Amino acid sequence: MSRHPLCIPHEHSFSRRQFLGGVGASAAAAAAMGTFGGLVQPAVAEDLKKREKQVIFIWLDGGMSQLESWDPKPHTEFGGPFRAIPTSVPDIKVCELLRHTAKQMHHIAVVRSACTQDNSHSAGVARIQRGDPKNRGVDYPFFGGAVAKLLGPCPGGLPPYMWVKPGSGGFIHQDGGFLGAKYGSLALGDGKPPESLLLPPSITATEDTLRNDFRSKLNARYAAKHRKANSEANSYVYDVARELSRRSDLFDETKVSDRDRDRYGRHDLGRHMLLGRRLLESGVRFVKVNSYGWDSHGDNFNASQSLIGKFDQSFAALLEDLSERGMLDHTLVIALSEFGRTPRINSHVGRDHWPEAWSIAMAGCGIKRGIAVGATSERGDVVATEPYDIGHFFHTWFRALGIDPGLEEYDNHGQPLPIAHDGMGPIKDVLA
């Protein structure tokens, strides 16, 4: 079959159901070796510290106003009522709504010259989370699916890509794009586990072990006589399912200290961010934490006070914890939305969608600490330095994770596809 980078040979042949099913060699191997057995927490935590890169991707669905967060412009035409406050980094000021985060600024790199394109919600979510590769007629994976594919699952048997979100959960195969469903996400609706997570009370742990041991023997005998792929897939999904069951404490909020709950905040975003940290600690490769409702077309300043206040509290607690636990060295933290918000304040005291000039924050693995890169104009309406589209950010993040977009490419059933926009490159100023 001839190759052409612009179109896809048979996208349908990637079944999107196969969440974690088709068993990339590494996943199967990790599961088959069972290296970490039941001792997930301590063994994995140590191992992760040494070598495993992880990501927590905080997605504020809609747009967070850059003027009320990372790029304040007090006392200017569009500046709004809030003050700019100093941070733990001399020369960097942020909006006073980020008062907790300001104390963690020495961990953070903020890029104030994001200039993306789509200003509609329907396009924004996918465009940003896919890194807006050139349109090749295929659905690119979301960032989590890409990382799950490129780095595989961490040891310990948990799925590589988990998504903590308000509302319903399930297996979100779409996030895998053309890579297929196994690179989709396991979504925990309101932090709750997938259906049928827990062993029913009628079955004791001993009984469960005995019945599964018998199943495994039977499977091994079948596998020895047949083509490998199906048997491996079947064993792998059972291993992941049982590991999730074993780690059901992750979904038990009573296991969390009151102090942590207060630090992160008892609101949805706080609870979900805290679960995000615990998932990272348990060895999930990529965690997406989702917050909805960032769309202050009206009453922007009260809305921002509430929304950004929650983000600030939980984000600062997360950075503090990751830093304290030595996890920032191998964990890439990203906080972003679909776009920024218009500098011009509309007649409803709101700010509308503004992809032209906004800010994206990141921290941790491979990222410089305590810097602000790029700048917007005095009024904050345009980027005054080199503008960076989302493709530049994807290049940057891949590099921070040790993945070279110049060398790595996807193989879409024979069709080579770049992992990041091939007309763009990394933002070198933020790379450590």
Partner 1 sequence: MTIRTIWVGCAAVFLAASTQLQAASLHEEIDRLIAAKAGMTPLAPACDDATFLRRAYFDFAGRVPRLEETQKFLADAAPDKRTKLIDELLAGPEYPRRMEELFHVVFMERRGDNPEWSKFLRASFEANKPWDQLTREIIHPVADDANKRGAAFFHTRRLEKSGQETTDYPGLTRDIGRLFMGVDLQCAQCHDHLFISDYKQIDFQGLLTVFANTSIKGGDFPAIAEKPAATKLEFASVFKDVKQTTGPRIPFGTEFDVPPATGSAVALVAAALPAPDNRLFVQNAVNRLWFVMMGRGIIHPLDLQHADNPPSHPELLALLSREFVAQKFDIKWLLRELALSATYARSTEVASGEPPPVELFAIGIERRLSAEQLLRSMLIATGDPAETKDETKLVAALTALRPKALKAFANPPKEPEDAYNTTVQEALTLLNDEAFQKLFEVKAASLTERLAKIEDPNQLAEELYLTILVRRPTEEERAEVGKFLTQFVAEAAGKQKVDAVRYLAWALVASTEFSINH
Distance CA 86, CA 166 (A): 33
**Three-state SS annotation for 82-124:** CCEEECCCCCCEEEHHHHHHHCCHHHEEEEEEECCCCCCHHHH
Which amino acid is it at 172? I
Token duo for residue 73: 């412009």
Q: Does 196 bind partner 1 (CB under 8 A)?
A: yes
Q: Does 8 bind partner 1 (CB under 8 A)?
A: yes
Q: Does 195 bind partner 1 (CB under 8 A)?
A: yes
Q: Closest separation between CB of residue 301 and partner 1, Å?
A: 30
Looking at the Cβ atoms of 282 and 396, the one nearer to partner 1 is 282
Q: Does 235 bind partner 1 (CB under 8 A)?
A: yes
Q: Does 32 bind partner 1 (CB under 8 A)?
A: no
Q: Does 4 bind partner 1 (CB under 8 A)?
A: yes
Q: Closest separation between CB of residue 107 and partner 1, Å?
A: 34
Q: Angle at Cα 56 formed by Cα 196 and Cα 283, nearest 5°?
A: 55
Q: Judged by CB under 8 A, which stretch of 239-247, 272-280, 323-331, 416-424 contacts partner 1?
A: 239-247
Q: Closest separation between CB of residue 237 and partner 1, Å?
A: 4
Q: Does 194 bind partner 1 (CB under 8 A)?
A: yes
**In this structure, what is the dihedral angle of CA atoms 230, 233, 238, 243, given to the nearest 10 degrees?**
160
Q: Closest separation between CB of residue 421 and partner 1, Å?
A: 19
Q: What are phi and psi of 226, to 5 degrees?
A: -130, 170
Q: Does 78 bind partner 1 (CB under 8 A)?
A: no
Looking at the Cβ atoms of 83 and 211, the one nearer to partner 1 is 211
Token duo for residue 200: 């029913």
- CA-to-CA dists, residue 186 to 2, 25, 126, angstroms: 35, 20, 18
Element housing 277 (H / E): helix 268-282
Q: Does 390 bind partner 1 (CB under 8 A)?
A: no
Residue whose C-alpha is closest to residue 390's, from 417, 354, 427, 353:
427
- CA-to-CA dists, residue 136 to 11, 142, 174, 391, 422, angstroms: 12, 15, 17, 15, 12
Looking at the Cβ atoms of 156 and 159, the one nearer to partner 1 is 159
Looking at the Cβ atoms of 231 and 342, the one nearer to partner 1 is 231
Long-range contacts of 270-274 (CB under 8 A, 24+ apart): 270/310, 270/313, 270/314, 270/317, 271/191, 272/164, 272/165, 272/166, 272/190, 272/191, 272/314, 273/58, 273/314, 273/315, 273/317, 273/318, 274/314, 274/317, 274/318
Q: Does 212 bind partner 1 (CB under 8 A)?
A: yes
Name the DSSP class of 411: E
Q: Judged by CB under 8 A, which stretch of 19-27, 64-72, 250-258, 419-427 contacts partner 1?
A: 19-27
Looking at the Cβ atoms of 13 and 347, the one nearer to partner 1 is 13
Token duo for residue 6: 């612009």
Interface mask toward partner 1 for 135-174; x: CB under 8 A: --x---------------------x-----------x-x-
How many residues form the binding site for partner 1 (CB under 8 A)?
A: 66
Distance CA 102, CA 312 (A): 9
Q: Which of 202, 254, 257, 347 binds partner 1 (CB under 8 A)?
A: 202
Q: Closest separation between CB of residue 149 and partner 1, Å?
A: 17
Q: Does 233 bind partner 1 (CB under 8 A)?
A: yes
Positions touching partner 1 (CB under 8 A) are: 1-4, 6-13, 15-22, 137, 159, 171, 173, 181, 186, 194-200, 202-204, 206-208, 210-212, 214-215, 217-219, 221-223, 225-227, 229-231, 233-235, 237-238, 240-242, 244-245
